[in-house]
Structure formats: C-alpha cells, structure tokens
Amino acid sequence: MFVGRKPKFCPGTIVGTRGVLVRFCSDMKPVNECLQRHLAGDWGDADDEDTSLNKAAFGDGTGTPLRSAYKIQHPTDGDVRISIVSYPGDRTCVSIFGES
C-alpha cells in the first residue's frame, strides 16, 4: 500500500463515507494515494491553520485531529475534494469524506 512514502503512524481502521465509496468504487487508487500522503504527513491542500495544528499534534500528545484535503480529478464528476481526518493519539480509525 505504501509505495515511496513512509507512514508516520498506523491508520487503524479506514472508513469512508458513502459518497466517497460510491463515487470511486470502480477505482480507489486516487483515494489510496491521498491516504498514503496523509499518513506520511503530507496534508495536501489543507489550509494554514490545519497545517499548523497537524504539525503540533504530533508532538503534544493531546489527540488533536489531523486534517488533510486533496483535490482529485474524477473522470465524470470533474474536480472532487476529499478530506481525511485521523486522531494521532488514538490511531484506531481514519475517516475519509468527499465533497464536490
């Protein structure tokens, strides 16, 4: 699963919203690539505030959620934005959300 990127933490269970699963059911590769980036500490298109909070979350042990955002080109829907949220203190679940 991790090609060329070393994960900074284990994701535990990975769950996706129905929208993500339906939209990408025929090809999960773009979603998997975003997940790899998230686990490696590449926050994609996350805003400055989320990026700063993510960097701090690794050192403070408070369980602050890690948030990342990525834009994926979908063959029929055009640009699709997905968001990934995980909790480094818990590390038992990663959630993937989709938006148009």
Contact in structure between 54 and 71 (CB atoms under 8 Å): no
Q: Tell me, yes or no, whether 66 lies in a domain.
A: yes
Residue 89 dihedral angles phi and psi, to the nearest 5°? -70, -30
Q: Tell me, yes or no, whether 1 lies in a domain.
A: no
Expressed as residue numbers, the domain containing 19 is 13-99
pLDDT of residue 90: 66
One-letter amino acid at 19 equals G
pLDDT of residue 77: 82
The model carries a pTM of 0.84
Distances (CA, A) of 91 to 58, 74, 75, 77, 87: 12, 29, 32, 32, 6
The total of structural domains in the chain comes to 1
Q: Tell me, yes or no, whether 29 lies in a domain.
A: yes
pLDDT of residue 88: 66
Q: Tell me, yes or no, whether 2 lies in a domain.
A: no
Strands 78-86 and 66-74, how do they pair? antiparallel
Contact partners, residue 63, CB within 8 Å, separation at least 6? 57, 87, 88, 89, 90
Q: Tell me, yes or no, whether 7 lies in a domain.
A: no
Q: Tell me, yes or no, whether 47 lies in a domain.
A: yes
The Cα 83–Cα 37 span in angstroms is 12
Taking only the tens of pLDDT, the chain with its 100 residues reads 555 678 888 888 899 998 888 888 888 899 999 999 999 999 999 999 999 988 888 766 667 889 999 999 888 888 889 999 987 666 678 888 887 5
pLDDT of residue 26: 84
